[in-house]
Homo-oligomer: A and B are copies of this chain.
């Protein structure tokens, strides 16, 4: 009979407990120990903003498993409030500190699992240690927020960083009645996720919900009051009063233990692992936020911390530390967030990332409805695809909107996994019934727009390109083909704009200059494309349409009403 295997897992949030449970199911005999510094195991960290906002009422909801569960059901020993101090790889030992007693002991291991997670990035600026400046990665952080908020005395908050946690917390704090300013060093919200025009969509929604945005502003310090409590956030150009600050600049892998133990660290800053999630030591595995992942499109190493990935890692590690040989194929950086009523998601590469990687890129901007237009109350979404021009292969997608987008991003994630082309995307047999979808899904539409571009039928300019032309006073016709009533309701104002409704276009060809550049647009770009084809067919030489048209226009429009319910 085999010697009973000794498995030690450092980290008890997501990957660690999952690895332990899987290891137990694969090996009923192994000795399994989980070491966790905090006082809870199996914590749903992604729920923290919703716990701060009160959507999730009780802390206990976020703790999905108790130490008793691990003991009684899983036969796993859990050491909570216990910090791993050092790994002695040669001796196969981990030195641990019991925080309550300050007692240091050691654990022997045959296989060690590092699931040490991540730590929040804190900017090295003056005043960063003032009271009232918080991060949010643990339940105790969320409780700190709740305690600060419950007396209802704090009126103004600043969130530093317009990433996922920043925007989720903007909502959580606004719901609590605070005046919230989000300061972001980049020129847009969610800069690592979204391209400019998609981010703008989210920004309009945030502003409509009362969130103040200070974009392109780098925080250089914090000012405190006489009690060393924060009262001001200072950027190069601005000062913003606040008595509560969330630092939401992202997280970085917690690699201290691994590094000190001499394990290989990737250039991304995460622990380097192979496809079996084994570190540079064959007896040490690592998973979750502390490791780097392979991006399935670029095959490059990236950091992509996510609870979903941590769980998958846990399974792979649990299998492998008990003698299996499961592999993890990598990630697509799939991300989704609710920002007030706006749903925001991306998968794969953004346009800017794809261009940085040197891909020859086609894109499209396609507004659509979440389900059949004739079924009541369907809400708007906006799809952007990023496609390799030469092959038609999908590289990434972004979807934002008040309507259903999780489905669309997951379809794209699945398609990307298998190297789908736009031809394949356009012919996916997606489920159609009026309460769920249109006969032609917005993704089908988007794929067809790219196909039409590649076939030479559709010729487009992006809203950004057109805005530049307008700013430079270029001579072209910017042809609105909507109806007069739509024009009355809202319109783009520029000297180049002319209105000829689509249904009158064939009769109005004479009034348009045949040799001049014409860029058509409408609300969603469907009519604009049709108009382009009409003009092409009538011998006009230089006609394009605006990708995404008004629905994707990231700049000002003149309107008699507030801009569509974003």
Contacts and interface: CB of A to CB of B under 8 A. Distances in A.
Contacts of A457: 25-26
Interface in A505-538: 505-506, 529-530, 533-534, 536-538
Interface in A24-63: 24-26, 28-29, 44, 46-47, 50, 55-57, 61-62
A257 interface: no
Given A375-B55, A409-B431, A429-B334, A440 B308 contact: yes
Nearest to A57: B376
Interface in A321-369: 328-338, 343, 345, 347
B61 A432 contact: no
A432 B336 contact: yes
Nearest to A409: B431
Interface stretch (A83-91, A152-160, A236-244, A416-424): A416-424
A162 interface: no
A457 to B, nearest CB: 6
A439 B73 contact: no
Contacts of A409: 431
A206 interface: no
Interface stretch (A121-129, A245-253, A309-317): A309-317
A544 B530 CA distance: 61
Nearest to A505: B73
B417 A428 contact: yes
Interface string A413-443: 1110110100010111111111111011100
Copies of this chain in its oligomeric complex: 2
Contacts of A343: 436
Contact of A347 (B347, B373, B431): B431
A73 B502 contact: yes
Contacts of A533: 24-25, 28
Nearest to A420: B418
A375 B436 CA distance: 23
Interface residues of A, number: 95
Given A44-B434, A533-B24, A375 B50 contact: yes
A56 B448 contact: no
A289 to B, nearest CB: 12
Contacts of A448: 315
Interface stretch (A64-72, A102-110, A223-231, A385-393): A64-72
Given A47-B434, A337-B433, A434-B50, A73 B503 contact: yes
A470 interface: no
Interface of A: 14, 24-26, 28-29, 44, 46-47, 50, 55-57, 61-62, 64, 68-69, 72-75, 164, 296, 306-312, 315, 328-338, 343, 345, 347, 372-376, 404, 406-407, 409-411, 413-415, 417-418, 420, 424, 426-437, 439-441, 444, 448, 452, 457, 502-506, 529-530, 533-534, 536-538
8 smallest A-B Cβ distances: which pairs? A28-B537, A418-B418, A336-B431, A407-B407, A308-B432, A414-B414, A61-B374, A307-B439
Given A56-B374, A62-B374, A406-B407, 18 more contacts: A14-B439, A25-B529, A47-B375, A64-B374, A72-B503, A307-B439, A332-B429, A334-B430, A334-B432, A336-B431, A336-B433, A337-B433, A347-B431, A406-B437, A411-B411, A414-B414, A418-B418, A418-B424
13 contacts: A46-B433, A50-B434, A56-B376, A74-B530, A312-B444, A315-B426, A334-B430, A334-B431, A343-B436, A411-B411, A414-B414, A414-B430, A418-B420
